């Protein structure tokens, strides 16, 4: 019997894996099974190359069958990569496969096991985008947000125009902030005033969205605008900015109070429809929105500065209201 050529087996296995990745259903499973057999035969025949990518493709042949029997094929997929990285420790493709597997499949292994391998690979190849990207995913799985963010910032440095690198840098900055807030377990959250354009504070807006309904929130000035933007409302530039003292009307009881203001933007009243927010205060002079509320989720926001006192202590009651919201929530 003629012994199959190991190189031909490897090439046939690669082609079968590519075919399987583009197939569906039973055809894909059958192709992955055939690729698995071919690669194992190639290894048994003595196939070897400088890179060791055969173990990466063997991993894919197992991983493609995980829906048939996860308990059988996920460990096989993991072991193929571990065997490959043991034999070819400089192979960043195999390491990338491990990083993806460990972060995509719960319970497959502790991502911390990979950090030493990642750091060693980066020493040898410090501009490898895929390694830095995988490093970010691994450290996110470990909840080490500082190292995670560092990784994605490096990705941005390597590819400044890359969407994923820029997106995940911002995303994990937000996740870090959310984790810090969760760790504090606050009674409530105040979204403070500016200065600044509300549409430039996307990271804060995303945090507001994430915390909505978890804690009572009180937005002041820019914070009020961000509360509204987080729920899908829009903000307009005022024809004439509000600078100084202005009377506002409470829409709950009609009471008018004097307020201190210093802002150039206002929430578009019509855009509040469908957001769950309603107008709490309006400006007496131009009827612009000066405050909003979401009673169901314990959220209020005001455009003016309630801590100022143009009419002595007119608006201090807003802080009492927020304290009451926190007490009732707890």
Statement: residue 330 has pLDDT above 80: no
Residue-level pLDDT at 329? 82
Three state DSSP letters for 266-296: EECCHHHCCCCCEEEEEECCCCCEEEEEEHH
Length of the chain: 330
Average confidence score pLDDT of the chain: 91
Q: List the domain boundaries for the chain.
A: 1-88, 189-329
Residue 88 — very low, low, confident or very high, per pLDDT cuts 50/70/90?
Answer: confident
Q: Is residue 225's pLDDT more than 60?
A: yes
pLDDT (mean) for 310-328: 83
Task: Confirm if 202 and 170 have CB atoms less than 8 A apart.
Answer: yes
User: Do 9 and 41 touch, CB atoms closer than 8 A?
Assistant: yes
Among 18-22, 54-58, 251-255, 326-330, whose mean pLDDT is lowest?
326-330
How far the first Cα of the chain sits from its last, in Å, is 78
Q: Which of 22-31, 108-117, 247-256, 280-289 has the weakest average pLDDT?
A: 108-117
Beta bridge partners of 262: 243
Q: Which of 303, 236, 224 is nearest to 269 (CA)?
A: 236
Q: How much is the pTM?
A: 0.61
Q: What percent of the chain has pLDDT over 70?
A: 98
**Residues 122 and 90 sit within 8 Å (Cβ to Cβ):** no
Beta bridge partners of 215: 212
Under the banding of pLDDT at 50, 70 and 90, the label for residue 309 is: low
Rounded CA separation 55/43 (Å):
9
Q: What is the DSSP letter of 200?
A: G
Report in angstroms the alpha-carbon separations of 113 from 62, 102, 103: 21, 10, 12
Q: Is the pLDDT assigned to residue 310 strictly greater than 70?
A: no
Span 289-299, pLDDT tens digits: 999 999 999 99
Q: Is the model more confident about 105 or about 48?
A: 105
Give all strands of the β-sheet with 278-283 in edge-to-edge order: 189-191, 217-220, 299-302, 289-294, 278-283, 235-250, 256-267
pLDDT at residue 137, rounded to an integer = 86
**Least confident segment among 43-52, 162-171, 255-264:** 43-52
Summarize pLDDT for 56-66 with one digit per residue, the tens.
Answer: 999 999 999 99
Supply angle C-alpha 250, 254, 259, rounded to 5: 40
- Show Cβ contacts of residue 148 under 8 Å, excluding neighbours closer than 6 positions: 136, 137, 139, 140, 172, 176
The 10s digit of each residue's pLDDT in 125-134 is 899 998 899 8
How many alpha carbons lie under 13 Å from residue 218 in its C-beta half-sphere? Answer: 19
Per-residue pLDDT band at 312 (split at 50, 70, 90)? low
Burial-class residue 220 by CB neighbours within 10 Å (0-12, 13-18, 19+).
buried
Q: Is there a cis peptide before residue 83, judged by omega within 30 degrees of 0?
A: no
Q: What is the pLDDT of residue 172?
A: 93
d(CA 175, CA 48): 43
- How much is the average pLDDT of 131-150? 90
Query: Per the structure block, which two tokens stand in for 167?
Result: 């997106």
pLDDT at 50: 79
CATH of domain 189-329: 3.40.50.880
Separation between Cα atoms, residue 7 and residue 131, nearest integer Å: 28
Band (182; pLDDT cuts 50, 70, 90) = confident
d(CA 121, CA 131): 8
Q: Tell me the per-residue pLDDT of 30-55, one tens digit each, with 9 for 90 and over.
A: 999 999 999 999 999 888 877 889 99
**Is residue 311 pLDDT above 60, yes or no?**
no
């Amino acid at each position: 019997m003629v012994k199959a050529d190991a190189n031909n087996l490897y090439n046939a296995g690669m082609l079968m894996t590519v075919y399987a990745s583009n197939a569906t259903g039973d055809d894909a499973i059958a192709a992955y099974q055939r690729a698995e057999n071919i690669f194992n035969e190639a290894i048994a025949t003595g196939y070897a190359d400088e890179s060791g990518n055969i173990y990466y493709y063997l991993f894919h042949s197992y991983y493609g069958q995980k829906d048939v029997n996860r308990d059988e094929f996920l460990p096989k997929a993991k072991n193929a990569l571990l065997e490959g990285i043991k034999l070819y420790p400089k192979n960043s493709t195999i390491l990338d496969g491990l990083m993806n597997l460990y972060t995509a499949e719960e319970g497959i292994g502790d991502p911390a096991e990979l950090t030493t391998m990642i750091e060693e690979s980066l020493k040898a190849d410090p501009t490898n985008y895929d390694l830095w990207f995988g490093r970010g995913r691994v450290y996110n799985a470990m909840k080490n947000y500082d190292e995670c963010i560092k990784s994605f910032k490096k990705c941005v440095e390597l590819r400044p125009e890359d969407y994923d690198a820029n997106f995940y840098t911002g995303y994990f900055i937000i996740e870090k902030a959310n984790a810090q807030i969760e760790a504090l377990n606050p009674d409530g959250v105040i979204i403070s005033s500016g200065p600044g354009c509300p549409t430039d504070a996307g990271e804060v807006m995303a945090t507001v969205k994430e915390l909505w309904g978890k804690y009572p929130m009180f937005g002041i000035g820019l914070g009020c605008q961000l509360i509204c933007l987080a729920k899908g409302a829009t903000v307009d530039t005022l024809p004439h900015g509000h600078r100084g003292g202005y009377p506002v009307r409470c829409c709950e009881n009609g009471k008018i109070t004097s307020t201190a203001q210093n802002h150039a933007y206002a929430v578009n009243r019509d855009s509040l429809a469908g957001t769950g927010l309603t107008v709490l205060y309006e400006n007496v002079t131009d009827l612009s929105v000066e405050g909003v509320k979401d009673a169901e989720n314990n959220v209020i926001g005001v455009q003016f500065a309630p801590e100022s006192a143009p009419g002595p202590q007119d608006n201090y009651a807003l802080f009492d209201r927020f304290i009451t919201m926190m007490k009732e929530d707890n």
